[in-house]
Structure 1
Amino acid sequence: MELRQRALQVLCLTDPAQKAAATVELHTQFEQLTLDTERGPVLPPGQCLPGHPERPPLVKHTSVVKRSPSTLEGRAALLHSIAHIEFNAINLALDAVWRFDGLPRDYYADWLRVAREEAYHFTLLREHLQRMPHLGQPWDYGDFPAHQGLWSMCERTAGDVLARMALVPRTLEARGLDATPLIQAKLRQIGSPDALEAVAVLDIILRDEVGHVAIGNHWYRWLCERAGLDPTAHYPVLTQRYEAPRMKPPFNENARRRAGFTEVEMAWLKNG
């Protein structure tokens, strides 16, 4: 089996647990699989990406009801929304593997590693939800509505790997670096056992996401160098061309610097 062909097959899977397990397995098989960097697989006619389960129901982001994390149901909804982000992140990483031709082997290895870690995050969050019983029944992934904001940018950048690296990992996913500490602070203030357990799970996710954003920064700059573009000057061009959201403070400056953002880039964000 060829690696990118298999990545597409896993991306098309609809069962969340099956997709997470298959992603982990694919990463462990990386060295044994062939890799064609020049001719990627062709999406079968009529196949819609990504493979998505029947639940959760997908709605517009404006239709997702916000609940207070001070209640158990509100915390379940919050953790469900983060689990959905991580499920989408599996899809985003797998898409980066199968879709783009002509890149070094390390590029495919990096994004397959990201996919595996996102699968781990999703599993941690799903298991946490399942330990939060409600009226005698555990919650699970699929119990709350969700939206596809992350995937919409994936679709917009499907024809341009440079834009994909700029606007998914180092823009939308980097926003998680900013948001996670704020969420953790609210959960610590609540102080219940399930809230503090969620804080510990988010510690793991934040640690790994710094590395994921760093991978996005690395390949964005590598692609800019290959194209003879200045990465700092070209980034605003891409945000305007693809109508990417402008990031608003507060920023997790320490995490962003560890992920490879320069002082010039941090200043641009702050002055946005």
Structure 2
Amino acid sequence: MNAPSLARAIRAVMLTAEPTAKVMAARDVVRRWRAGELALVFDVDMPDYPARPAKPELLPPAAMPKRGRGSEHGRIALLHALAHIEFVAIDLALDAAGRFGAQMGRQFIDDWLSVAADEAMHFALIARRLRTLGSFYGAMPAHDGLWDAARETAHDVAARLAVVPMVLEARALDVTPMTVERFLKAGDERSARILQRIVDDEIRHVRFGTTHFAEVCQMREESPPKLWKMLVDRHFRGVVKPPFNDSARRSAGLSREMMAGVACL
């Protein structure tokens, strides 16, 4: 009997809406791929939009309620927002592997499936913490802008790498350490440890992005800094601005010289 295709397995996870089921399915796809139980075959397209649960209610970013700063409710709201980011990140990583894996090859697939497994773990950790604090994922609205980057860059692997890992995930390297400090000052060491684990993993995720972006630039005979600036200008609906976590960015392959081309310093 022929092994199921990797593309069909990835698509099935992306079309799984219930959060716990999606986490389990994402982990299972990675396990089956590593065990050689999925064929390196891309015989179906990735969905334009992944399945989403009924809750949380998804709102435009401008319509999101303000989070209270310093209060326990504000910290729970922040954890909920981070849980949603990690939930969407599962599909972002899977989509990269399923959409661009045929052209980019096995190492690309291995890397982005490992990212999907990490994001599933991150979501599960935050969702469990929310329950410990008397809340749950879906208890509050979440913004619906996170998938825009995937739609905007669905046509080009270089654009996807330039925007998702090298801009959006890299931003987590800048802001999460400050969030860790905020939780530590509030005496919430458990949440702080979860967030520190996430930022440590994000360095590796961004490094995957910079490494594969450099490979694409080499294939296309393009300058990485110039192509990155062009793609960010064209496809990122925002501003790349300081403060930057220079040490984490350097570890992830984003030097100050690279940043100078895209950042509003």
TM tier relative to shorter chain: over 0.9
TM-score, normalised to structure 1, is: 0.91
What is aligned with 1:111? 112
Q: What residue in structure 2 maps to residue 12 of structure 1?
A: 15
Identical residues among aligned pairs (%): 36
Specify the SS of the correspondent of 2:142: coil
Give distance in 1, aligned partners of 2:157 and 2:235. 13
| Structure 1 vs Structure 2 CA RMSD | 1.5
Partners of 1:240 and 1:232 in 2: CA distance? 12
**Unaligned regions of 5+ residues in structure 2, if any?**
none
Is the CA contact (8 Å cut-off) linking 2:241 and 2:264 kept in structure 1?
no
Query: Is it true that 1:187 corresponds to 2:183 in the alignment?
Result: yes
Aligned length: 259
Supply the distance in 2 between the matched residues of 1:261 and 1:223 (Cα, whole angstroms).
16
**Tell me, which stretches of 5 or more residues in structure 1 are unaligned?**
134-138
Which position in structure 2 is the counterpart of 1:51?
51
Does the CA contact (< 8 Å) of 2:232 and 2:262 recur in 1?
A: no
Counterpart pick for 2:143 among 122, 142, 147:
147
CA distance in 2, matches of 1:175, 1:168: 10
- Determine the C-alpha separation between the residues in 2 that align with 1:263 and 1:42: 37
Change (3 A) 1:228 1:40: farther
Partner-residue secondary structure (3-state), 2:143: coil
Residue 156 in 1 paired to residue 141 in 2?
no
Q: Which residue identity is paired with 2:192?
A: V
Dislocated runs of 4+, deviation >4 Å: none
Paired position in structure 2 for 1:175:
171
Contact preservation (8 Å) 1:93, 1:112: yes
Partner of 1:122: 123
Aligned residue runs from structure 1 range 23-34, under 5 A:
23-30=26-33, 31-34=36-39
Q: Give the Cα–Cα distance (whole angstroms) in 2 for the partners of residues 79 and 69 of structure 1.
A: 12
1:97 aligns with 2:100: no
CA drift at 1:40: 4.3
Deviates more, 1:206-215 or 1:235-244: 235-244
Distance 2:48 2:228 in 1: 30
Code of the residue aligned with 1:33 in structure 2: it is: L
Question: Which residue matches 1:78?
Answer: 78
Deviation string 1:155-209 (CA, Å, 9 cap, x unpaired) is 0101111100111111111111111011112222222xxx221101001101101
CA distance in 2, matches of 1:35, 1:61: 38
Q: Is the Cα contact below 8 Å between 2:97 and 2:112 reproduced in 1?
A: yes
CA contact 2:226–2:261 (8 Å) conserved in 1: no
